[in-house]
Structure 1
Amino acid sequence: MNLIQEKRSGDSAIPPNIEALLTDMQQRSLRRIENFGWQLKFVRQPRFEPPIVVVENATGVNIGILEQDGGVNMRPLITLRD
């Protein structure tokens, strides 16, 4: 698992309670796409909204959003910073 620190708050990019944040469908989908080299990159936790789960491929070139229903949105409307 990736232990990148969140730049603004110093928190881990992947919270230690990740299983509690993901829906059952997201957990199943994450396990399935990990078999293809994808991994969890970070989780954004906006207030009063479901977490935004960002995954990336093995090369780090492609990213996607792991939707609540387990689908992977390969064209996310999300802004990433370096």
Structure 2
Amino acid sequence: MTTRERRNGTEQASAVALRAGLTREQLDALTTLEHFRWELRFVRRPLFLEPIPVVFHPDGERYAVLEADGSLNENPGFEIRR
């Protein structure tokens, strides 16, 4: 097994872990967004609350939260450190 094969396996596992706990609507919206090169970078998981998936635009400057109904919230009420 090469380093690249190990890395790809790790990347696939982390992609699956990021999607864990998302609603069907969020997953469907994410699939559509990925066609436009948006990327799921992280998921905030506050205690006792639903996961908050954060997606980034391909330019890396804009981000949005995928709401539980699959809609995009480009003004989520929090800042992301860069």
TM-score bracket for this pair, using the shorter chain length: 0.7 to 0.9
**Cα-Cα RMSD:** 1.7
Taking only the aligned residue pairs, the percentage that are identical comes to: 37
Q: How many Å separate the matches in 2 of 1:35 and 1:18?
A: 18
Contact 1:44 1:51 in 2 (8 A): yes
SS in 2 for 1:49: coil
Structure with greater helix percent: 2
| Paired positions, count | 70
Residue of structure 2 in register with 1:76 after alignment:
76
Q: How many Å separate the matches in 1 of 2:16 and 2:55?
A: 16
TM-score using structure 1 length: 0.75
Runs of 5+ unmatched residues, structure 2: 1-10
TM-score using structure 2 length: 0.75
Contact 1:37 1:58 in 2 (8 A): yes
Q: How many Å separate the matches in 2 of 1:28 and 1:80?
A: 24
Q: How many Å separate the matches in 2 of 1:47 and 1:15?
A: 21
Runs of 5+ unmatched residues, structure 1: 4-13
Q: CA deviation at 1:16?
A: 4.2
SS in 1 for 2:50: coil
